[in-house]
Structure 1
């Protein structure tokens, strides 16, 4: 089934099971009186049930229970469900149940409700996953996969994937890396007419550089890497080309020693693969990060609205042109979005020079713009980008497509910055000065990669506090 149908099915079955669990608790407490004579009878049934259902759905969403769990073990999902339901019931105990239950029967009632929620939701989710697996076996909702590897390895991995249809992978193409002296076929097809691109390292006709184009053209969701343990350079090149692309990288286990710290081993129905560069933050921290983004953005934009309107009016009065400057930037997974800033330069500042970095005492900056840059107030409209989901409060700064194309050719792993949402501020911004040369960008990329590999709420808060200090000290440029 498609991701949208999967999400709708999970939400619907979970909501039904949460409602049934509450109904069972209601009957057991007030109708059957399994836990003693209740202190008081509720005046309503439907409203508390709806509120309890909403509570559980929000908690599941916050805990990552609605993230894609493609072809993962159902047992692993039940373990995750056990943890979330246990935490959820404990929250309810201290928030509600502790004052409403009889001391002598409280433990029995709490356990009954926990068992009802866990049991019913487990049954519902197992039903959804069983249907999903049956559809995968019939070819519905499979992930499109591309193989990169030596010719003999491609054949071997293709055979392995075909042997496990329940893994939900369909090979739609391959880049065959020919060994020195080999002459690969000009073109070839695999499976059900899947397009196969042939690449030979060291030739100009077709190289491994075709990987990003094939990912886009074939709609690839997984890249399976079948290289030998000595092919370090080829693997690093694959990682570089896939950086910023919305694909999962999975290795045949030969390379585990090379990328140990960046990998997570998984077995998809007997098909051993190693996932490279998994999600940098756990689901609950990602939910908290997004909640913090929305809350802070609403507060900044709402409480400071009179000041932002005054700044916009001042910009219009002191120099011709709009108050808000719009610019195309590259976001997560290489998506282009429109970034908003208070205009700090004269109109058409790059008409003669083309895209260039700002410099110290830049003559293109207006007098009011210089003041806004010093106090970092020109970035305030980007809180709207954060609300829209294009950006986050903290992350690598988004760059213009012109510079992304240029820098990705000159700086290794530059596109890895696009694995996460760009930010209004970031580790590079609080640790390094403004970009004025390629060397500055190289230094910032190091800080950005460090942030991505060590992302956490604690680090985000540290960066935000440092940014506030930089603003109050007037150290902007």
Structure 2
């Protein structure tokens, strides 16, 4: 391989290209939220934002060099600079957030409530590995409320909520209670905080921001109706469709040899057919036939009743167990994506039998059918495979988060996480 690195010329001649590169990378990182304090600052959180930022920056810098060739400083040098940018930004950020000790960078939050929900909130923050996204300055308990937080963190409500916020220099009030009746809920004081520029966050919003899911036990219809998100505009639909087609074609090209080998092994072990088609519920509740590699014996459901797959399912063939572990059985769904029945990223499609059962028992379950199902999804990379009503509820919390917040950036993050899931074989059955 021959590196196209300039061997002559002064540093000054490279300055315009270097300035352009720096500006584009900074703009790409800002566009994808890398300068926001509420982002995750552990290794995975930084990497999942940095990789798409650099990919976006590389695309723009390539276009700029094509339009203005005088700025171009060579393929080899560009490759080296991109690699150095990735390593140095990652290392510097990790060092800064791990050892800087700049506690003042974290937003300070006052929690309204001191019960079970407040305790869960505190435990979640304590689990953050490198730098928690916010600092809890104290808990303001309600009257006659059982207290589950450390006594030293209790703040007696001697004055108004706004005065406490000012006293403890807080920038956010988190409402950690679901009880809003009986005349004790300080709605006017919270309104005063909002008017004063203080952020007010309820439990659903907090867990959505920190955990990436919508808690079912804290969810209420008015929050869904009046809250932000759930954008289904024409532009988003067109962009997502283009993303689906490009990603699916690239994956088809890359994995075609693997798919051909898989088909041959299935035929050798258990004969035909190679694929199986199964009815699934898709966008707007419409059914379609999903296409997957057959991983079970032909008589897997000879009793005629649909069954959830289980870990080390005895109905699986030897080839089937391998391709399920590696998620190769999912690859033929590329055809469903190209036909427009599925998206590459979205809630996993379920069979009508289970949809009817879950819809009758799980609130808001049908909301996951407001967008196209996907080959991979937020729930698949955030929650291990499950086969019960309880698991369905847990995964629905992540599906609802995706339905509410889906974007091209989130799709990209899910694809990166999916690679990790496949390589580490997490959640396979």
TM-score by length of 1: 0.42
Q: Whose strand proportion is higher, 1 or 2?
A: 1
Higher-Rg member (1/2) = 1
TM-score by length of 2: 0.47
